[in-house]
Structure 1
Amino acid sequence: MRTQGAPAAGGEGAARRAPAPAPAPGPGPRLAPERRIPGVTAAPGVTSAPGKSTRGAQGPPIGLNRPRARGGGLPVGEGAEGGAPVSIAGHAPQPNSRSGPAHWRRDPCAPRRTLVSSPGDPIGWKAVGSYCQQPIGTQDGPRGGGENTPRPPLPQEPIEKSNSEALPEVGGRGKMAAAKGGWCLCELLRFFYSLFLPGLTVCGTLCVCLFVILWGIRLLLQKKKESVSTSKNGKKQTVVAFFHPYCNAGGGGERVLWCALRALQKKYPEAVYVVYTGDVDVSGQQILEGAFQRFNIKLTHPVKFVFLRKRYLVEDSLYPHFTLLGQSLGSIFLGWEALMQCVPDVYIDSMGYAFTLPLFKYLGGCHVGSYVHYPTISTDMLSVVKNQNVGFNNAAFITRNPFLSKLKLIYYYLFAFIYGLVGSCSDVVMVNSSWTLNHILSLWKVGNCTNIVYPPCDVQTFLDIPLREKKTTPGHLLVSVGQFRPEKNHPLQIKAFAKLLNKKVAEPLPSLKLVLIGGCRNQDDELRVNQLRRLSEDLGIQEDVEFKINIPFDELKHYLSEATIGLHTMWNEHFGIGVVECMAAGTIILAHNSGGPKLDIVVPHQREITGFLAESEEDYAETMVHILSMSEEKRLQIRSNARASVSRFSDQEFELAFLSSVENLLK
């Protein structure tokens, strides 16, 4: 009698046994069908799937070699009775209480294709397809002879696929992925197409609503304009308004404002004149008194001041980045505040806030004009960014990074395009120099209504200074006239003066003193003055540099009468009223070789020299040495030529040109 679970004896008796009944269907895993492998022939009598023992088999399953095990073990599948499992490499199969009979596993330390038993291992191996392994659960099937003796399936080595055989699944998967991608694209296009008509309807509705709202605002403002234009006696008066948020400053732009008001009041005394200003810390009377003290201008008729509370929106300190865009958008809100308080008939932007022009023209229904001192953006600014040059409006960390330079260049081009659109809304355009004219024509493209109107300079007052008057101060005085703004580049003046003092040690020169005269608009300008003082201290010339801030006109005239050289260092200065005043007062001007001074002011008069131009610190220092070393007669000749050339910049010439330009606005 045979022990339950032991393998049947081999020999002829085993060959005569009746065929084993087919295993009953159950939930066990399905075996892969037999695959024919090129170049591999099954052993005689083997007809089952690889790895499964078959009655009458004469050799190992397909793909399984029969090497000798280490330690003299028998080949796999051979035993004392031809079918009993034997120990391989010194290991005997052991039953597992949980998994049943012993199973086989591969010993990683044994030679290839040598199998050892693993107690309780319920996993066998079979070849799936011909290029991967897949674990399958073992099945206990009945043995031959009617005895239900479980027999562990022999592990099957994977049959590797040759490189020449292609994987049939790859092409199919690629086609499926392509089909899926095409389907997604079609669905996306279909989705956007379904949104087209609803989106178009919504956009059209919003545009109509916006148009109705803006038209209603325009009608409301027109009614408000009629109430402002009507005088006490019921007669309609023309209201002329100037947008100048910093009218209490002491720069050349403010001189243009007061001279323009004086000229209009002389020709149109019946009109009402309004000035939009953000100087809320002073009264209107104080502003007029300041204009008289600084510029010697007194108005003959009253002026109404509209004080704006949101001037901080156009302060450059509020926008450390994207300053041009921030100030321009801020000017729109500031202009809206001005429009809500007073709706004029004629609106003139005299300070360069071009983004307010469409607001007053299309909502306020005004005739609009602009006097451009300096374009908000110019082609020169674009070239600075494009060439990655460091400047006051182009930080060093941007110039060192090509990617940031490209982004800033794109930003400048977009802003220049928008600036041209809003500027083209102006009915009359006045520019202060040939340099400004060239840039405005290239940006605004309104050549048919653009004229050069040189800014007014109090030439006659300075012409009263005698050229041969004996100076009361010893040595030579160097004077700079201009607001303390960053673009004026006052540090260049101080550094060049320091170089001049160093040259004085090597060469015998008289005592020298530099006086910086200018106006401070706000706290930022005052901070810049303090920085200039510290720069003088760092260079060790603080005893030779003085700062005169917001001084009266008489004091300015006194300093110019005593000065030998007038300094100007702004790159691409739009015009340069300070340059003209220095030349009219009899000083020898040394200006920057660019912009208005180069094209319009420091030009030969009757083929005679009227002044000098320079660019770098060394150029300024060497030119100052050259001027100071000249004879008194040579300097007197240059001063006389300069004084004769500035008559075209007088107040009278400005009034004639200004009234001729704005005549169309007041018709």
Structure 2
Amino acid sequence: MDALLMLLIGVVTALVLFTVLATAAFFLLGSGLPPVSKGVVAFFHPFADGGGGGERVLWCAVKAVQDAAPKAQVAIYAREGLTSEALLRDAEARFNVRIERPVQIVPLRRTHLVLPERYPRLTLVRQALGSVGLGLEGLRQLVPEVYIDTTGWAFPYPWAARAGARVVAYVHYPTISSDMIHRVWSGTATYNNDSDIAESPVKTSLKLLYYRAMALWYGLAGTACSAVMANSSWTRDHIRNLWSWGKPPALVYPPCDTTELQRLPLDRKLKQLYLVSVAQFRPEKNHLLQLQALAAAKRAAGPTLQGQAVRDAKLVFGQAVRDAKLVFVGGCRGEDDRRRLEALQAAAEELGVAGSVEWVVNAPFSDLRSLLGGAVGGLHSMTDEHFGISVVEYMAAGVVPIAHNSAGPKQDIVQPLPLEGGGEQPTGFLATSVEEYAEAITRVLTMDQRERLRIAAAAQQQAGRFSTERFLADFTALVGPLLPK
């Protein structure tokens, strides 16, 4: 038995002991934290400047709290160096969300404790312990009357609750899920289950034990909540199972700026056919799959047209695919994201599609709106994406989505609309493999304009279910009774 196996056994044993002993000591001895600051609502969101869908949820939730409780002081536990003024400007520029009153920033110096790249092995348990340390760093400075987590780090919840705060969780993605456990059980190699473990029955058994211990700890942490929200049917089902002892989760779809994007015309002038891909440059977003699919679609498209006399329809369609571009629009949170971006740019060169790819980094909302206004299709390739705000943004803008056939996009978003008299109108395409993505890319780039308009109109109608207005109403209905009076 090698050192890794011994380490796994030791960590699993230590985790179980830590959970039992720490919980017992916690409730018997007290929290040792300062008294509750009445009238304060604090959001735990260490990387509030991240620029992703989670940050849009944060700022819309802040707006909902300020509207529902005008006299409450809103605070955000965020990484050291961020200022309220800069964050509020960024919220308006990037997400079109205007926050009327200033917020207090509770600075966190040890945000590195929750970064996955810090822990190449046993990432889950070490990040979980890091989140407890980071949560306690914030709570030692301020214990609010209401503690709202919008990041998914559940492990500090019991400490906040024991200190006297009412805890609210908005869960984007379960830290551990039955899908993750199933992939380990089935021996599937993925970004969170490398082939060395997937191919070893002994290591697989130990990792299953590790995951189940984590699920137990996660479930115990969830019982500290006074209210729980999940952002999709997929997430709600997992949280309902994992947090079965606590409050049942309510389904509150995340806020998407569908109102602004729905003003974009469906029948647009297409000077240059292009696809967009909107996602932060993180490994789970699987941008490489999109590059591989684009390359496959272009290889299958046939030769470039020569002259004006060619009338073969396949060649005409092929030329549309060969001329099309893919525009990546994403945020870089730090040096690791920038290195991933550089690796993707190198991969585009190797695949022979660098000349057909553009990169737009940390774009403001106005630039995103302009790009969506001219795109014909939008790519999304994350497996088990909890929801998929970018997919909704595509649909609201009249961009035909090509999304991964799992979780949020599959269960909630890319759903066909029933037609009068029977039948269904597709609102986009779902894919899993490189070949399926390449086929969908070709279909979107070469489809008849009338067919594209029918799909785009149905997609836009479907996107209306996920508006900012609906989020504000649903969030306020659940959280409003818990806010300071």
| Structure 1 and Structure 2 fold alike (TM over 0.5) | yes
Does structure 2 conserve the Cα–Cα contact (< 8 Å) formed by 1:427 and 1:449? no
- Alpha-carbon offset, residue 449 of structure 1: 3.7
Residues 1:252 and 1:340: Cα distance change in structure 2 (over 3 Å): same
TM-superposition CA deviations, 1:219-274 (whole Å, max 9, x none): xx22xx3xx43xxxxxxxx1100000011011000000000111111121100100
Preserved contact between residue 240 and residue 248 of structure 2 (Cα < 8 Å): no
State whether residues 269 and 301 of structure 1, in contact with CA within 8 Å, keep that contact through their aligned partners in structure 2. no
Q: Give the letter aligned to residue 389 of structure 1.
A: T
Match of 1:596 in 2: 408
User: Larger C-alpha radius of gyration, 1 or 2?
Assistant: 1
Q: CA deviation at 1:594?
A: 0.5
Q: Distance in 2 between matches of 1:509 and 1:403?
A: 52
- Out of 395, 414, 419, the residue aligned to residue 218 of structure 2 is 419
Which residue of the partner structure matches residue 97 of structure 1?
none
Q: What corresponds to 1:514 in structure 2?
A: 326
Measure the CA separation in 1 of the matches of 2:104 and 2:392. Answer: 31
Give 2:63's aligned amino acid: R
Structure 2 matches for 1:449-460, cutoff 5 A? 449-460=248-259
Query: Identity across aligned pairs (percent)?
Result: 45
The one-letter amino acid of 1:329's match is L
Are residues 465 and 446 of structure 1, via their aligned partners in 2, closer, same or farther at CA, if it must alter by over 3 Å? Answer: farther
1:481 and 1:516 in contact (8 A); partners too: yes
The aligned counterpart of 2:47 is: 246
- What is the aligned counterpart of 1:299 among 84, 87, 99? 99
Q: C-alpha separation between the residues in 2 aligned to 1:662 and 1:274?
A: 16
Matched position secondary structure for 2:328:
strand
1:571 aligns with 2:403: no
Q: Distance in 2 between matches of 1:216 and 1:428?
A: 21
What do residues 96-130 of structure 1 show as CA deviations (whole Å, max 9, x unaligned)? xxxxxxxxxxxxxxxxxxxxxxxxxxxxxxxxxxx
Correspondence 1:256 to 2:57: yes
CA contact (8 A) 1:593 1:614 kept: yes
1:29-51 CA-partner distances (Å, limit 9, x unpaired) = xxxxxxxxxxxxxxxxxxxxxxx
Within 5 A, what are the aligned runs for 1:355-370?
355-362=155-162, 364-370=163-169
Alpha-carbon contact 2:223-2:246 (below 8 Å) kept: no
Structure with greater proportional helix content:
2
Q: TM-score by structure 2 length?
A: 0.88
Structure 2 segments unaligned to the other structure (5+ residues): 1-20, 304-314, 419-423
Distance 1:584 1:577 in 2: 10
Deviations 1:304-362 (A, max 9, x none): 11110010111111111010111110011111110111110000111000001001001
Query: Which amino acid counterpart does residue 295 of structure 2 have in structure 1?
Result: A
The AA in structure 2 aligned to 1:258 is W
Q: Tell me if structure 1 keeps the 8 A contact 2:225–2:247.
A: no
Check whether the contact 1:453–1:654 (CA below 8 A) recurs between aligned residues.
Answer: yes
* Structure 1 contact 610–642 (Cα < 8 Å) conserved: yes
Matched, 1:535 2:352: no
- Contact 1:262–1:299 (CA<8 Å) still a contact in 2? yes
CA separation of 1:453 and 1:447: change in aligned 2, threshold 3 A: farther
- Matching residue of 2:478: 661
Indicate conservation of the 8 Å contact 2:81/2:107, yes or no.
no
* Residue 216 of structure 1: how far off its partner (Å): 7.3
Q: Is the 8 A contact 1:368 1:665 kept in 2?
A: no
> 1-side partners of 2:281 and 2:115: how far apart?
15
2: CA distance, partners of 1:390 / 1:637: 39
Partner of residue 287 from structure 2, selected from 490, 494, 515: 490
Q: Who is 1:500 aligned against?
A: 297
Whether the 8 Å CA contact 2:372–2:397 is kept in 1: the answer is yes
Shift in CA distance, 592/210, structure 1 to aligned 2, threshold 3 Å: closer
Q: What letter matches 2:130 in structure 1?
A: G
Letter in 2 for 1:421: L
> 2:324 corresponds to which letter in structure 1?
L
One-letter code of the match for 2:441?
M
**Gapped regions of structure 1 (runs ≥ 5):** 1-205, 230-237
Structure with larger RCO (C-alpha < 8 A, sep 6+):
2
Q: Deviations over 1:416-466 (max 9, x none)?
A: 111111112111000000000110011011575420000000001101111
> What's the counterpart of residue 199 of structure 2?
400
TM-score, structure 1 as length reference = 0.65
1:346 is the counterpart of 2:146: yes
Q: Determine the structure 1 residue equivalent to 2:440.
A: 623
Cα offsets for 1:443-500 (capped at 9, x unmatched): 01157542000000000110111112313x32x1010111111111111001001101
Find the counterpart in structure 2 of residue 178 from structure 1: none
CA contact (8 A) 2:85 2:102 kept: no
Give the equivalent residue in structure 2 for 1:156. none
Report what 1:286 is aligned to. 86
Q: Distance in 1 between matches of 2:132 and 2:144?
A: 17
Kindly state the Cα deviation for residue 505 of structure 1 after the two structures are TM-superposed.
Answer: 2.5
